[in-house]
Chains A and B, each alone.
Chain A
Amino acid sequence: MENYLIEGPVKGDTVAKYINEQAQFKSRGGHAIFLGQVRDDKADKNTVASITYSAYAEMANIAFEEIKIKIMNKFPDVQQVTMLHSTGLVKAGENSLFVMISGGHRKEPRQACSETVDLIKEHVPIWKNEAFENSETRWRENDPL
């Protein structure tokens, strides 16, 4: 099974590699990309410095695979679904999620990208522990936004 989890942040050169690989697929006319970035949220004068992500890796990779199949079945113009999620420590300002949807035209990849991000947040067993600048930590649930 494909591994959708990477240790540490999703770095720019990783994103660039996936973009550059698309040059070989000349029937594709549109790619929609989402990058999830760790925010420096504030709480009671504390500021989030980093998030440590943990995952139930085996179940998470199954969930990612099911999301890919669901998206490919729903959007016939979509030719590739790329998803990467961090585990371990990701500092504020760094990226923890990369989604790229590639298709023949622009419309379906854009819709599919939005749906894919929502499905990841809802169905993939990943948890985040925020660490503040004063070293306090807290488990955080997802915002509905």
Chain B
Amino acid sequence: MKIKLLTFGVFGDLTGKSCHELTGMKTVTDIETYLKESYPETQKFKYKIAVNTKVVDGSKELSDGDEVAILPPFAGG
């Protein structure tokens, strides 16, 4: 199962790219664990997670082809 992980704002800088392809992720919590273990410096920053443009919590199960986004606090305007 493949998912596309998009990282915006400071999370793009900290992970080195804005789009990642991941396998073996079953839930949103798995994504959070991946971020924490692969890029520990990201834990200094607040974020929400969206799956296919909807903000979700950690229990959300993922499906093949899902687009997951790491969203730091919005700053438009």
Contacts of A142 in B (CB 8 A): 73-77
Q: Is the CB of B71 within 8 A of A85?
A: no
Q: Which of A18-26, A41-49, A70-78, A116-124 contacts B (4 or more CB under 8 A)?
A: A116-124
Contacts of A59 in B (CB 8 A): 50, 53, 69
Given known pairs A127-B8, A139-B9, the reply for A121 and B76 (CB within 8 Å) is yes
In this complex, how many residues of chain B approach chain A with their Cβ under 8 Å: the count is 16
Q: Is the CB of B9 within 8 A of A54?
A: yes
Residue A30 at the chain B interface, CB threshold 8 Å? no
Given known pairs A59-B50, A59-B69, the reply for A128 and B75 (CB within 8 Å) is yes
Chain A CB within 10 Å, residue with most, of B13, B50, B53, B77: B77
Residues of B within 8 A of A (CB): 6, 8-10, 12-13, 50, 53, 69, 71-77
